[in-house]
């Protein structure tokens, strides 16, 4: 049984990752703020990581303590936000802003899944509106197109990187497809079986479109996403 530490296990990605690891037979230790854990405390991380072969650092905290904990493999969760306002297919060689020697960096796209409560994200906003019978207020005119990734796919990609990724390298994790906000809303309405009557901010006209280029992660690990957006929305 492989010993593994996951920081930030209370988040939507962390929860999916812990489930996936345990299904694969890993002995998983978690370090979360709700449990009184501090991913920036070297002593706390060292205790939690004792015997761990792999650390997945998903907590929104400086990874210095994780990088010095002594685990042979470290995967750091990052975001495609490191690409700034770049549009089109986002490639890893566009920036090294989050590079860390000895660690594998995972640049995740817009991830959604069960248990996501963040009010600034599109899918939880639609979920609350459907639950409460209200009209969701959205922060754009519905034009922006983004890469929406199910948390279970994020988890399988993180595990693939831990097993076959190259330390010191960054990898995109996404679907490789950009979906406009209005289409996401339509797919969600189809999943719940009724219209939500969203209120768009028609003054915020954003025609940008960006998605993750998956060439590198697929070539290195063989990973590809398995959950189409329509199926993922039906699941939640």
Query: What digits encode the pLDDT tens for the residues 151-169?
Result: 999 999 999 999 999 999 9
Cα four-point dihedral sign 15, 17, 19, 21: negative
11 vs 25, 43, 61, CA distance in Å?
A: 21, 23, 13
Evaluate whether residue 139 is within a structural domain: yes
Tally of structural domains, the chain:
1
Q: Give pLDDT tens digits for 51-102.
A: 999 999 999 999 999 999 999 999 999 999 999 999 999 999 999 999 999 9
For position 105, which CATH number holds? 3.40.50.720
Could you tell me which residue, 55 or 34, shows the higher pLDDT? 55
Spatial contact of 50 and 70, defined as CB atoms under 8 Å apart: no
d(CA 44, CA 167): 24
Rg (CA), the chain: 18
Token pair listed for 100: 């860390």
**Residue 187 is assigned to a structural domain of this protein:** yes
**Average model confidence (pLDDT) for the chain?**
94
Per-residue pLDDT, 120:
85
DSSP code of residue 166? P
Confidence at 133, pLDDT banded by 50, 70, 90: very high
pLDDT in tens, 106-129: 999 999 999 887 888 999 999 999
- Confidence tier at 36 by pLDDT (50, 70, 90): low
- The DSSP bridge partners found for residue 89 are 211
- Domain-embedded: residue 99: yes
For residue 162, what are the domain limits?
A: 72-235
SS3 track for 14-83? HHHHHHHHHHCCCEEEEECHHHCCCCCCHHHHHHHCCCCCEEEECCCCCCHHHHCCCCCEEEEEEEHHHH
39 touches 66 (CB < 8 A) = yes
Residue with tokens 């998956």: 214
Does 196 map to a domain?
yes
Q: What is the pTM of this model?
A: 0.95
> What is residue 188's predicted lDDT score, i.e. its pLDDT?
98
Tell me what pLDDT residue 115 has: 85
CA dist 145 and 175 (Å) reads: 13
Per-residue pLDDT, 1: 61
61 is a domain residue: no
């Amino acid at each position: 049984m492989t010993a593994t530490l996951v920081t930030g296990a209370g988040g939507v990605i962390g929860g999916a990752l812990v489930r996936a690891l345990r299904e694969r037979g890993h002995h998983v230790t978690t370090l979360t703020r709700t449990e009184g854990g501090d991913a920036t405390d070297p002593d706390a991380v060292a205790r939690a990581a004792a015997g761990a072969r792999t650390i997945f650092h998903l907590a929104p905290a400086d990874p210095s303590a994780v990088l010095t904990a002594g685990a042979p493999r470290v995967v750091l969760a990052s975001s495609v936000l490191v690409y700034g306002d770049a549009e089109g297919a986002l490639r890893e060689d566009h920036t090294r802003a989050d590079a860390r020697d000895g660690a594998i960096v995972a640049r995740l796209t817009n991830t959604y899944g069960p248990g996501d409560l963040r009010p600034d994200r599109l899918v939880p906003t639609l979920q609350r509106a459907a639950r409460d019978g209200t009209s969701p207020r959205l922060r754009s005119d519905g034009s922006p197109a983004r890469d929406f990734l199910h948390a279970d796919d994020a988890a399988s990609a993180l595990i693939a990187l831990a097993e076959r990724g190259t330390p010191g390298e960054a990898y995109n994790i996404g679907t490789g497809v950009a979906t406009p906000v209005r289409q996401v809303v339509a797919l969600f309405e189809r999943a719940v079986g009724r219209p939500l009557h969203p209120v768009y901010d028609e003054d915020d006209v954003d025609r940008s479109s960006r998605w993750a280029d998956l060439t590198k992660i697929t070539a290195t690990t063989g990973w590809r996403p398995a959950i189409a957006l329509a199926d993922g929305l039906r699941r939640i």
